[in-house]
Amino acid sequence: MSRWDELLHERLAALAARGQRRFPRAAALRPGGRLLRGGREAVDFSSNDYLGLALHPLLAERAADYAARLGAGSGASRLVTGTGEAHLALEARVAALKGAEAALVLASGWQANAALVPALVKAVPGAAVFTDRLVHASIHHGCAAAGVREIRFRHNNPAHLDALLARHADAPARIVLTESVFSMDGDRADVAALGALAGRHDALLVVDEAHATGVLGPGGAGLTHGIAGVDIAMGTFSKALGGFGGYLACSAVMRDWLVNAAGGFVFSTALPPAVLGAADAALELVPQMDAERTHLEALGERLRGGLARLGIDSGGSTTQIVPAIVGAEEDALRLSALLEERGMVAAAIRPPTVPPGTSRLRIALRAGHSHGDVDDLIAALEAAR
C-alpha cells in the first residue's frame, strides 16, 4: 500500500464515521417507474427520468438510426471537424423550445455551468457574480474556475439580491446565477421577479433549468420561457429528456462568444451521433406530454400531503422533487435502507450535498408512478418511523 493509499484509506474511514461515504451500485431502469438492482425490481424514487423517456422506443430508435448513419463518435471537437448538421439542427430545436435566438449544445449540464462563468468573466474582467446559496455544485465550480468570489444571496430571496446588486453598483458588470427548480429541495425560483431585478440593475441573469425543462412551463419549455430579463437558460438532456448532454439557450451574439470563449466547448470532443438522435427524439415528444406533466403534479401534491400528515418536512417543494427531510445522516441512511427492504429506492442525500442537519430522502417522482406507488411509499415511511 502506497503512502497515498494509506492516506486515502484514513480519509474514507473518516467519511464512513460521519455517515458520508458513498458507493456506486449497479442498477438498470425498468418501465413503470421501476428499477432493477441486485437482481430485485424496486419502485424507483431516485432517478431523474421524470417523463419516462429514457426507455421510450422513439429515443432508442433514433439513437440507433443516427449511429448507423453517422457512426459511433464525432471525431473531434466542435471547432475542428466535430460539428455535424445534426448538432446544428439540435441547437435550432433547443432554441425553438426555449424561445431563444440561439442555443449551444455541450457534453453535459455540469460542463455547461462550469464553462459558462469563466467565459462570461473573460468578457468582462472584474464582473461581480451573485449566486443563490443553494445553486448546483457545477455553478460553484464554474465560479471557482473563473477565479471570482461569489456574492451569495439568501435562497429564493429577491429582496436580498436587490440589496446586494445595489451595493455592488460600481462593478463593471453583474451576473446573477440561480436555478428555476432546485435539485435537492424541489422548490421554484420566482423567475419573473429575478428577471425584473436583472433588468432594473442591468445585470445578466442565468437560470439553470435542468430540473424544469420537459416538466414545467408551456409544452415543457421550462420556467424561463417568455420571461423578460432572462439572458441565458441552461438545461440538460439527461433528466426529463431521458438522454445525455447539456445546452445553453441565449442570444445569437452570446452563443458566438461562448463558441470562442467557453473552454468546455472549445476543448471537448463533440457529442456523438447516438446522443444527438435521442435528444432530437425527446424534443419531438416533450411538447405533446401535457398528460404526463399533469400526472406528475398530482403525484407531488399527494406525496407532500402524506409527508405532512406524518410530520415529515418537505421544505418548499412544489414540483416532482419532494425531499423528506429527517436531519441526521444516520436517520436518512436508515430510512433509505428500510425502504429498500420494502422494494423501494429512495436515495439518502447527506452533507456536503445538502447543508448540515438537513439530510434527507430526495424523492424524485416519475410519470410512470401511480397514486398507489405514492401511497405505498407514505405507508412505508410511516411504518419505519
> Which residues are tagged catalytic?
48, 136, 179, 183, 208, 211, 239
**Where do runs of H (alpha helix) occur along 46-108?**
57-70, 85-98
The angle at the Cα of 187, spanning 183 to 191, to the nearest 5 degrees, equals: 100
Give whole-number Cα distances, 43 to 32, 46, 321, in Å. 8, 9, 16
The angle at the Cα of 297, spanning 206 to 230, to the nearest 5 degrees, equals: 15
- Give the C-alpha separation, 275 to 253, whole Å: 26
- To the nearest 10 degrees (0 to 180), the angle between helices 137-146 and 109-123 is 30
φ and ψ at residue 195, rounded to 5 degrees: -65, -40
Q: Are 148 and 129 in contact (CB under 8 A)?
A: yes
- Write out the three cell numbers for 311: 410530520
- Give the C-alpha separation, 279 to 77, whole Å: 19
DSSP state of 385: -
**CA neighbor of 210 nearest in space, from 239, 187, 242, 177:** 239
